[in-house]
Structure 1
């Protein structure tokens, strides 16, 4: 194996890891309602397509997030399969996800578990990978009304309970993971 071949394989590995980190940073930002962290995931001219919820400039989507998330008591994004194709400073990804939403409605809280995928386009600009286009694709959903999740069961007594925003216990626990880079 030549040094050029090794260098190319190492660069591919580094690019894949940076893109995976971008994907998981997005999930953390969504779940914690951390819109500044979310903003750091997109290039300024990026597009976000969340279907009827929002489709347009990603920065406008992020500006609209407080309204979108105001009734979301729980958001929990989990990525599973990540398929990436990289060509220089451009990459595409099909990212499978499970996203749990607990949402307040006038009739009471509902739980919505969505199985879907993100169709992503990424660009490396100034040495940093970010989204240029992100579209959500729903493959299935499981809706429970009324909600079946509970956080007040005795089994959870004394446990730290996740919350949106900086009230989440992670902000007090971690020193490194909550920073926007």
Structure 2
């Protein structure tokens, strides 16, 4: 396996983490970490299973979440270890108090400073600290046309269902 392959696998873990948080796929969040990893994530510091519970609580009122990962820099520190810095831009929208009402949208700029390791042939997060650059909240009203396909924060999102239909479902 080449270092380019290793970089791709590390980047894939970062992207899978973003999707898992945005779709509230708790098992997939945990799968990005090794069991003994420590995550320093704002008010939470602890292992991956605790992080999942923290996200479960913090995201219970968030009806839309998007994490954009960019500027991924990988510095290999050994055959099976790497220090990784990546930028993250998060959009977290609180559910409205009343249908169609105003919502708070948190826009957070941060960086993930990670130690990745390869164990049993797979790369994963061994330790993470989230470094926050900015957090701001704006009031907004969602103007999305209700006839458009909207994202879902669970297994019913099209990323999990589109193209996985049987021919009978596709014709319906």
Q: TM-score range by the shorter chain?
A: 0.7 to 0.9
Moved more, 129-138 or 22-31: 129-138
* Partners of 1:151 and 1:161 within 8 A in 2: no
Deviations along 1:128-171, one digit per CA (max 9) or x if unpaired, are 00001111111122311x3x15154xxx3532100111121222
Mapping of residues 75-94 of structure 1, within 5 Å: 75-86=65-76, 87-94=78-85
Distance 1:105 1:50 in 2: 26
d(CA) in 2 for partners of 1:174, 1:103: 30
* Structure 1, unaligned runs of 5 or more: 1-9, 176-181
Partner residue of 1:150 out of 139, 142, 155: 142
Tell me if structure 1 keeps the 8 A contact 2:103–2:141. Answer: no
**1:18 alignment partner, one of 9, 31, 43:** 9
SS of the residue 2:155 aligns to = helix
- Which structure dedicates a bigger proportion of its chain to helix? 1
Paired position in structure 2 for 1:41: 32
C-alpha separation in 2, matches of 1:136 and 1:149: 29
Q: TM-score, normalised by structure 2?
A: 0.85
CA distance in 1, matches of 2:19, 2:38: 19
Question: Are 1:101 and 2:95 counterparts?
Answer: no
Q: Does 1:50 align with 2:55?
A: no
The two structures, once aligned, show a CA RMSD in angstroms of 1.9
Residue of structure 2 aligned with 1:160, choices 146, 149, 155: 149
Runs of 4+ in 1 over 3 A off after TM superposition: 104-108
Unaligned runs of 5+ in 2: 165-172
1:124 maps to 2:114 = no
Q: Distance in 2 between the 1:113 and 1:21 partners?
A: 23
Question: Does 2:64 align with 1:70?
Answer: no
Residue 50 of structure 2 corresponds to residue 60 of structure 1: yes
Q: What corresponds to 1:5 in structure 2?
A: none
1:28 aligns with 2:19: yes
